[in-house]
Structure 1
């Protein structure tokens, strides 16, 4: 008996071992065959796929690849005979008719192709289980109408089947956005669990241009659905759409409607206000946070909302900002809960009121309330800024370095690293600044990554070579002076570049690498000082020197904005918005330029 068990055990083990070796061999052959196929070496691929198919004729992947190899090598008869023999052996596998039909299609035998496609479709009623594979084959062969028809017939034959998602995707591939959006929204209507999936795929077509065809169709489809079958989910999608288009006021209307039905959660309105603030849509952001302040009964929510109301007051230079801060401290106190409010106040005192010493006292007091390393990091970041503002660079770098050490990989640590790079740039230590910026270029925070790339390129493009002055030290010093609110001194530093012979032989002139950067920064400073004519003059010099430079679209947009918002010259504004639309179609300003151009032209938006 023991010998019998041993014999059985060895037999099973040997069989399993042999099977395992065979599977590994087949897998290796498949990978080699697939590589040949993708490289277009169809003769070699044919041999391997034929070998694999002969071993596993039930494997549709091997069958599909073998037929495709035959077709790519013009062996249509071999493919036809193989398929006909398969159909004869088992005519219930109706998906084979699609392969056969496409084989005729490749030979321009349209009638024979249609005949077989129809056979596949007409047999779906008896073999609905093949609906998925037939629909996929039609889609792979770019026979999109047949694919849609297949999926619809399969769902008619089998009420449990659901191919709405596949149908919607195919409408998208056809460019039939109307049908695509209707299909997606029908999916959500039947089952709201599809919401995230539909939102993700819809976002591939939605842009931040409200007049984009897909945006218009999606909005109309949602509004029709909302009218015929009201549901909260339609308001959610409309709010999301308006936020994508930066129509934050309209998004807020939808969020308010949702809140009225469920007056317990203000988080969506808070998120919307934050996004609007970050995009400088201060009126819409203000409306969001005022609404939260009015409706919320939670102290934490009210503090968070008022923090942003204070930030908006600072950003819009509201003359009542100081009084607003004081009223908030009276209402909520100076404590652990208001640390971020205290940090914002210190920032206001330093950069708006030029009172860094008062700001420093505020932060030194605030650190006594900090109960977490994150609050301490926020305070130290702002203290570092104030130290840079007052010219105490080394002490500032200590604070920034402490944050990097204590909060590795956190967003606050990335902010600190950028501030190390910026401070090093201000000091003229370009090598160390670049080393920090290289790390930050891959930052998970997009804003930090963008700022890092911009500063890295500025240093790389303009860094002195072989101790020959390039003007970068003077530009960095001018930027430091501007950071310290010494704008006149910053402009004087920039003007020296155009006159000092020890920096450039004839002073800074067109053709020098740093020329555009200097003039662009001068224009920014003039705008800050409301000297718009001088700003336009500097921007025009950049275009005169090189109207194809990397700053060209930035220059055109800045000029358009000055003419539109400050000089009330609508014709000139249109001219420069139009330059972006027609000459810089890949510009990040394109959508805004198009909107503003249409508005100035009088289009009904």
Structure 2
């Protein structure tokens, strides 16, 4: 019997709770739609049912204020304070009610009561500060948080304080607060990087960057810790000052060998951003100090990439030295892949590369490494014009790794190879799948090639120039740039006025840039704009022109002109965000 009564009571309670929740949802909808009179009726019922629910009370008071029923709100709060004088946070709400009526003295009187009450009731400090923040009384919120931390040394409201300083535009104090937070507890480091990262950028002369750096240096002098080196390195990486970041990370490594990972990470970032000198310094340290063979060989391979990119002499000898020292085996598989790539695309010796890769397949002990070898072997075969054999290798990877990045890459290579051999229908079928399901980089490449084929497919057996364009694309893939430029030139003349013309001009401009023939590239871009100011390539042209003037020709005024064209004339362009950021930087704005 008792059990039945308990179950019945629980059922009644759950039904009551459900009904109350439903009423709250309806009230919230009225509130969000500014239907305050309707919301008042529901919030009154909810508050009467649950008089200790602060949310109901605050919502009800806000509704009264929005409908200018200030006296009703005041009476309700006064009555509540008479019943429960210990609920000192209500003085903030009451004070704000007076402020809404421009009764500033009355408002400040109640604000001060709330602030002073923290000395006796510290547990209300966070609530009182939060209310001040919500009412945009930021100085009062700061005062409360500081008072709470003074009264209770274990309390830590560093994040809240920093965010308030940020809202006030007091970035110096904001950075000081974030740094003090890390000073108290290293575990806040990643959160501090995330929040601070919203206010700094890649410009070392930006005011916020300078303020943050000064705050770090002050703290590192007054209280030396490894964490300041870490934050300085992070700042320098953000500013693309990789050599300065290297100094900080090297200092960390000297104190703790476990920091070798930071050196490795910096090397990868520097390599990606073509700071080859810093990248090599990092990888040299990894080769010397790491205990992990995988990291060592990755660093060796990265140093070889740097040697190739910077056209250092005796590259073949460097590869052979590595093979003599470590052997041609499973340990050096990725070095073998790198060597095959170098032999094919730099030395024009795909036959030797093919033999190296086929041999590597015999002792690869991982299906993922085997797939990587097959993809590279397929590339080499495409280079040699052996499309059907290449398709076999690509298709094997695609089948084995259907929902993996490797499978998506293989599918794109199948499509690209089919395009090279003029099987445009099959290429489009593969690209259509990739456009929506692949990773962003592959999806973008797939979409571009899909549009190239779709816009220029031959109709009724009449040549459209697509076969010739695919041939030029293949030559560009083979790094035979002069031959590709010559074919594109013929396309531009032969198919003048047809859709393929702007494609050919754009492709040729990219190859001119690769050969550092910038004047020729600019002429091509100008011809594309002259063909059609609203063409599909116009925003690409403007962005590439801006980048050319900004990065290669040291002409920031011209660069600004073309970034600005994207911002004002092409607001839906994929380049908009980058163009706006770079334009503001060139103009000297704080970003």
TM-score by length of 2: 0.89
Partner residue, 1:225:
219
Q: Distance in 1 between matches of 2:465 and 2:273?
A: 33
1:190 to 157, 162, 184: 184
Alpha-carbon offset, residue 93 of structure 1? 0.6
Distance 1:151 1:544 in 2: 62
Deviations 1:94-127 (Å, cap 9, x if unpaired)?
A: 1101111111222222222222212211221122
Please list the CA deviations of residues 435-490 of structure 1 after superposition, one character each: whole Å capped at 9, or x if unmatched.
Answer: 1332345x2xx544554555556566x35597687655544432222102332332
1:389 corresponds to which residue? 383
Structure 1 residue aligned with 2:261: 267
- The Cα shift of 1:562 comes to 4.1
Which residue is 1:319 aligned to?
313
Map residues 123-134 of structure 1 onto 2, 5 A cutoff.
Answer: 123-134=117-128
Measured on the aligned residues, the alpha-carbon RMSD in Å equals 2.7
Residues 1:550 and 2:539 aligned together: yes
The whole-number CA distance in structure 2 between the counterparts of 1:298 and 1:494 is 48
1:524 corresponds, among 506, 510, 529, to 510
Task: Indicate the residue corresponding to 1:208 in structure 2.
Answer: 202
Alignment match, 2:527: 541
Distance change (3 Å), C-alpha of 1:342 and 1:149: same
User: Which residue, 10, 33, 58 being the options, matches 1:64?
Assistant: 58
Residue 580 of structure 1 deviates from its aligned partner by: 5.2
Moved more, 249-258 or 381-390: 381-390
Distance in structure 1 (CA, Å) of the matches to 2:478 and 2:195: 46
Task: Provide structure 1 residue ranges, at least 5 long, that are not aligned to the other structure.
Answer: 1-5, 565-572, 599-605
Q: Is the 8 A contact 2:456 2:500 kept in 1?
A: no
* Inter-CA distance 424–60: structure 2 relative to 1 (3 Å threshold): farther
Asked if the contact 2:492–2:504 (Cα under 8 Å) also holds between the matched residues in 1, the reply is no
Task: Classify 1:384/1:132 alpha carbon distance in 2 versus 1 (closer, same or farther; 3 Å).
Answer: same
TM-superposed deviation, 1:539: 3.0
Indicate how the Cα distance of structure 1 residues 432 and 589 shifts in structure 2: closer, same or farther if over 3 A, else same. same
Separation of aligned partners in 1, 2:288 and 2:585: 33
Aligned to 2:561: 579
Please point out which of 431, 444, 454 is paired with 1:434: 431
1:79 aligns with 2:73: yes
Show the counterpart of 1:310.
Answer: 304
- Which 10-residue stretch deviates more, 473-482 or 104-113? 473-482
Change in CA separation of 1:517 and 1:323 when aligned onto 2, cut-off 3 Å: same
Residue among 16, 20, 23 paired with 2:14:
20
CA distance, structure 1, for counterparts of residue 116 and residue 369 of structure 2: 68
Moved more, 184-193 or 527-536: 527-536
For residue 20 of structure 1, report the CA deviation from its aligned partner.
0.6
Equivalent residues in 2 for 1:102-501, closer than 5 Å: 102-296=96-290, 299-426=293-420, 427=422, 428-429=424-425, 431-440=428-437, 443=439, 447-452=441-446, 454-455=448-449, 462=455, 464=457, 474-500=468-494
CA contact (8 A) 2:492 2:505 kept: no
Q: For residues 45 and 526 of structure 1, what CA distance do their matches in structure 2 show?
A: 67
**Residue 23 of structure 2 corresponds to residue 29 of structure 1:** yes
Deviates more, 1:279-288 or 1:327-336: 279-288
CA distance in 1, matches of 2:281, 2:581: 24
Q: Which residue of 2 aligns with 1:568?
A: none
- The 3-state SS of whatever aligns with 1:319 is coil
Residue range with higher mean Cα deviation, 323-332 or 586-595 = 586-595
Deviation at 1:264, TM superposition (A): 4.8
CA shift in 2, pair 1:325/1:413, >3 Å: same
8 Å CA contact retained: 1:351, 1:485: yes
1:473-509 deviation per Cα after TM superposition (whole angstroms, max 9, x unaligned): 5444322221023323322332233222xx4xxx13x
- Separation in 1 of the partners of 2:81 and 2:395? 73
| CA positional deviation for 1:213 | 2.4
What is the aligned length?
572
Q: Deviations over 1:364-396 (max 9, x none)?
A: 011112111111011011012112222333433
| Secondary structure, aligned partner of 1:368 | helix
Q: Secondary structure at the match of 1:550?
A: helix
- Matched residues in 2 for 1:408 and 1:271: separation? 30
Are the counterparts in 2 of residues 553 and 587 from structure 1 also a CA contact under 8 Å?
no
